[in-house]
Amino acid sequence: MTINRSILAIVLAALLFSPATVAHASEEAATDTRKAPEMPREVDGVSLPMEASGDDSIELAKKLLPRSFKRNRSSSHVMFTDSDWEAISQARTVLQRAWSEYRGFCRRVGIVVPRPDEKLVCIIFNEHHDFLEFAKKTEGEHAILEHASGYFSPRFDWICFFEPEHHDSADEAHGHLDEQQGVLDQEQRNTRLDTLDAATAERIKRNWTWRQKQIDTARSNMAQWSENRRTMITIHEAVHQFTHVCHTWPGKKLWPIWLHEGLATSFETIDAKSGFGPDQLCESQDLEFLNCLDQDRLIPLRDFIAFPHYGDQTPETLEVLYAQAYGLMTWLYEFRKPQLAQFLKRLAAPPAEDGEADPVVLFEEIFGDIERLEKRWYSLESGDWRAKQR
């Protein structure tokens, strides 16, 4: 599931209008068992199965979604959306690239990834409130959904998100820009430049030009932010989906949160045309993680790898959790790749085949003493290896 942070301050702060990409995070909605609400059994007269996949998921989505939703097929997915063609086109391309990069990662760690037997489902809502209503009706009243911009449903095997352009904070930012445009337009209508001396008139015109440029730049940056965000969300949720449905990891239900989220966040990128994955660092994610490290906000590693579920954590704690998951996964891939591959294989194996149900026990068995590893990790981070690699 992807967690939203307000973009209003980013877009409007001091009218600097600098490009900004907000890092996002994700979860599997059904993994929160501590205070999980009752699982919905019916939506608007449509019975909800305990689980659905492939053609069953497609048929269920068709029943639950309004007829106005357009349908489009790619090589791996059936997409449903009430958004515009741009969203479908971008999501389809990104999903294809995500599948290719995911398979590449699995090959590098020695895991064979079978292609899903049936088409997967991707649902894109144009409006935030429609997304939230659908999510709560089908997944239950999870508090974390209030902060989410996307999620993967293990129950129905689909990924679901909404257009970043229409998040509440984005609408607020657009409203603010509309107000600024209105003020500028009114000034231009009400000001008689021909009654002013030449120097004053020229100064006013330069001010108008500068303000219009700032507004136009802000709108352009917001459009770019939305496109970047859509790419990141699509990739993140697709990685959750591939991990769940491809039968690659038999022990995936034993995976701790950091592993699910570390893998998904390590694939995030704003440019799906280039290679991405744990071996291709994301600058915005690096900065998020290093900021948590510098502010001493990281969770002690032993506690972190044992973190069982999302629970009712605050958005601030979740922000650290996702950033730390990214930092740990990318560091392990860079400096402990053989051990990471072994860890993934052992978690994926049934107990009879040398599997291990306790991820903390297995982690220490493969990576060594956790506190010593943590100290080494932080030491290498202080050497700024991330900036040198990019």
Q: pLDDT (tens digit, 9 = 90+) per residue, 78-123? A: 999 999 887 788 899 999 999 999 999 999 988 888 888 889 999 9
The pLDDT score that the predictor gives to residue 307 is 81
If asked whether residues 97 and 46 sit together in one domain, one would say yes
> For residues 318 and 178, which has the higher predicted lDDT (pLDDT)?
178
Could you tell me where the DSSP H helices lie in 267-357? 283-294, 301-305, 315-335, 337-348
**Distances from the Cα of 38 to the Cα of 131, 137, 139, angstroms:** 19, 11, 9
218, 248, 278: which is the final residue of a domain?
A: 248
If asked whether residues 290 and 179 sit together in one domain, one would say no
- Could you give the number of structural domains in the chain? 2
Which residues form the domain of 2? Answer: 1-248
If asked whether residues 295 and 217 sit together in one domain, one would say no
If asked whether residues 240 and 285 sit together in one domain, one would say no
248, 268, 295: which is the final residue of a domain?
A: 248
- Condensed to tens digits (0 to 9), the pLDDT of residues 325-363 reads 999 999 999 999 999 999 988 877 666 566 566 778 889
| Residue in the block written with tokens 């209003």 | 8
> For residues 97 and 2, which has the higher predicted lDDT (pLDDT)?
97
Mean pLDDT of 153-176: 87
Length of the chain, please?
A: 390
The pLDDT score that the predictor gives to residue 1 is 65
If asked whether residues 138 and 63 sit together in one domain, one would say yes
229: pLDDT strictly greater than 80 = yes
If asked whether residues 232 and 355 sit together in one domain, one would say no
Q: Read off the pTM.
A: 0.84
If asked whether residues 211 and 145 sit together in one domain, one would say yes
The answer for residues whose C-beta is within 8 angstroms of residue 212's C-beta and 6 or more apart is 184
The pLDDT score that the predictor gives to residue 351 is 60
Q: What's the whole-number average pLDDT of the chain?
A: 85
If asked whether residues 209 and 295 sit together in one domain, one would say no
